Amino acid sequence: MRNLFMKVTYDGTNYDGFQTQPGGNTVQDKLEQAIAHLTGEVLKITASGRTDAGVHAYGQPFNFETASRIPLERWCLALNARLPEDIVVTEAHEVPLSFHSRRAAKRKTYRYTINGNRFPDPFQRRFQFHHPVALDVKAMEKGLVPLVGTYDFTSFASRKSTKTSHVRTIYKAYMEIDRSMCRPDSSDQGVIHTYITGSGFLQHMVRIIMGTLIQVGEGKRGPETIADILAACDRAAAGPTAVAKGLALWDVSYRDSQE
C-alpha cells in the first residue's frame, strides 16, 4: 500500500462543503468518485479539515492509501480529467503510511475577501462579499488585535459546534487592500483581504469573526468591544455569520513554526 498526499483547489459555490454529506454533493465525494473511476478502488480520503457549503480552498491537503502503482507524476492529470472543472488537484506526493492530513496539520490560514468598491466585480462575484458602503478598515484592523493569542472562542463558534473544547490559538491576523480595480476619482475602497492563521478553527469561526468585524467597520460596534465579546464566551455577544462565498482556505502548514 502507498499513502498519497495531494492538494486540491476548488470553487465551492456549487458544493455542500468539503466533507461527505448524505446528499452526495461535496468535494470529497467528487474526489473519491474520480479515484474510484481511475483505480477501481472504493476508499475514503482524509482531509486537513472541512469547509462549509459555498466556501473555497486553495491547495487543501488530503491523503489516502492505495494499492495502485500509477506513477506520481500522472495522478494530477488523471484525476483532473475525471473531476468537474471547478475542482483541480495540483500536487501529489508519497508520504509515510502513518501520515494523517488532519492530525499532522500545525497551522491553517483562511482568507476572507470583501469587495469595498461601489459596484460588484462580475468576474469575482463568487469569491467576494460586496459591501458598497465605506468601511472603517483601521477600526477593523484594531478589532483583529485582541483575537491574537490562545482563548476560548465560544463567542465566535456556531451554536451547533460539537467540539468538547473551544480553546484555539490565533497566531496572526491582518488585512491587505488591493486597489488595482478602483475607478479613478471614485469612492471605491478596493478589495479588502483579511488573513487569519491559527492552530485550528471552530465551525463558522472565521465567518463570525468577519461578520462582527464588518459591524465594526460600519460603526455599529467599536473595535474595543471585540475583547469583551471574546471574554463573554457567548455566541449571542458576537455579530452575524458573514456570507460563505467570501471565505477561502488559503494555506495549511505542516511545519512546527512559520514566519
The three cell numbers locating residue 131:
459591501
Residue whose grid cell is 483601521: 138
* Catalytic site includes residue 52: yes
CA proximity to 225, closest of 141, 168, 146, 151? 146
* Cβ partners under 8 Å of residue 21, min gap 6: none
Helix (H, G, I), strand (E, B) or coil at 123: coil
End-to-end C-alpha distance for the chain, whole angstroms: 35
The answer to the question of whether 10 is labelled as a binding residue is no
Specify the amino acid at residue 224: E
CA proximity to 155, closest of 97, 146, 26, 24? 146
The three cell numbers locating residue 64:
489516502
Q: What are the helix (H) ranges across the chain?
A: 27-39, 72-80, 137-144, 205-217, 225-232
From the candidates 11, 16, 52, 251, which is the catalytic residue?
Answer: 52
What is the dihedral sign for C-alpha 11, 14, 20, 24?
negative
Question: Which residues are part of the catalytic machinery?
Answer: 52
Q: Return binding residues.
A: 110
Which residues line the annotated binding site for substrate?
Answer: 110
